[in-house]
Structure formats: structure tokens, C-alpha cells
Chains A and B, each alone.
Chain A
Amino acid sequence: DVKVTQSSRYLVKRTGEKVFLECVQDMDHENMFWYRQDPGLGLRLIYFSYDVKMKEKGDIPEGYSVSREKKERFSLILESASTNQTSMYLCASSPNQNNEQFFGPGTRLTVL
């Protein structure tokens, strides 16, 4: 079974802190994605990566950065957390052969 894991299920941070959200997949997938999910807005793509050290902006990249140093790991970084970044963050991966995405369990981040 494909497994996508995220470093934390729940996280509470203070405004201005630097926050790292980690995602690891074990199926050698080329593509990895970070979304945030907010009520009434569905899933919105923050960043994605189609190869090691490659990254592309999604629809809402402002306030975020990413890192992909190894194929299995894709990190989302909030350089200076703000209250409007309180959200559910979902990581996903997909192979190149088809684009069915496999999701992690999500990290619910609260910024106080």
C-alpha cells in the first residue's frame, strides 16, 4: 500500500514563528503536492514538485516556501507564521504514469 505520512496531526504555533511541515512518501513517486483546505474553499494548491530539487508555485504560494532535497520528502515552510495560515494542510504524491494522488492524513495547524 502507498503510504504518505505527515510529521504532525496537530500543531499550534505563535505568530511570527518559522514552521516546518514534513511529508514523506514510500512509493517512489515523482510528484508531490502541498494543499491547504479551508471550509467552503475546498483544496487549494500551494506548491508542487515533479522532481528532486524542483518546485513550482501553485495557486496560493504567498507566505510559503518548499524544499525537496530527496525524492521521498517534501517540506512546506512557513517563514513567519500568521493567523490567516491557520488551516488543514494536506500533502499528496502521485506517479508520472497517472495522476491519481495519494494523500497523507493532514496536519491541522493553528497559529495564535
Chain B
Amino acid sequence: SQQGEEDPQALSIQEGENATMNCSYKTSINNLQWYRQNSGRGLVHLILIRSNEREKHSGRLRVTLDTSKKSSSLLITASRAADTASYFCATDSGTASKLTFGTGTRLQVTL
């Protein structure tokens, strides 16, 4: 079952612009995570935000969480061509360390 739904499905921006991706989920969560996947590769963990946190930063990444709306956003500032990848949100609902992943946003950053 899919818990997270990312929006938009695809995003194309120019280098230097900011990229914002959104994630909506259905049930209550312990935490929400964002992952990145380069084409044909495994996923890499980017950032985790707990249910009692509203905002978190890591380098050029900023994540917000609104538990009342069951939504999160990932902002990548000053994007680079190397940021081109798919980005997934994943929710932890507290069931035996399982995560439920969304369908992802494909980000294309052009020079």
C-alpha cells in the first residue's frame, strides 16, 4: 500500500533555481524521511524529520512537516545539475521498522 504521494511527479528547473517537492500521507507517523535515487541505482537517505518537529535543515536541503495536514515538503536551494535524480518520501508508522515509500518526484536540473 502506498502511504506517501509526491507532487509533482516530474520537475524541470534550471541550475541555480530552487526545487520544491511535496509529499502527502494518510496515517499518523513517527517520522518522515526523504531519499534520493540516481538513475538505475539504490536509494540514499537525505534527511529524517520526526513527528514533533516542524522544520529541519541539512546543507542546501530544507524539510518541513505539517502533521495536521499530513504533508511534508523538501526544498533544494540553489540547485545543481548533480541534483538531477528521483526523490522519495518515506513514512514510518511505527510498525517493526518498516517504511512506506511514495512514488517519487523526478527532478531534472539543466545548465
Residue of A33, A35, A41, A103 near B103 (CB, 8 A) is A41
Report whether B104 and A99 are in contact in the complex, using a CB–CB cutoff of 8 Å: no
Interface residues, chain B, CB within 8 Å of chain A?
1-2, 31, 33, 35, 40-45, 48, 88, 90, 92, 96-104
Report whether A103 and B42 are in contact in the complex, using a CB–CB cutoff of 8 Å: yes
> How near does chain A come to B98, taking the closest CB pair, in angstroms?
6
Q: Identify whether the interface residues of A are mostly helix, strand, loop, or mixed.
A: strand
Q: Is A11 an interface residue (CB 8 A)?
A: no
> How near does chain A come to B5, taking the closest CB pair, in angstroms?
9
- Cα of A94 to Cα of B14 in the assembled complex, Å: 35
Residue of A31, A43, A100 near B101 (CB, 8 A) is A43
Q: Is A77 an interface residue (CB 8 A)?
A: no
Closest partner residue, chain A, to B92 (CB atom): A99
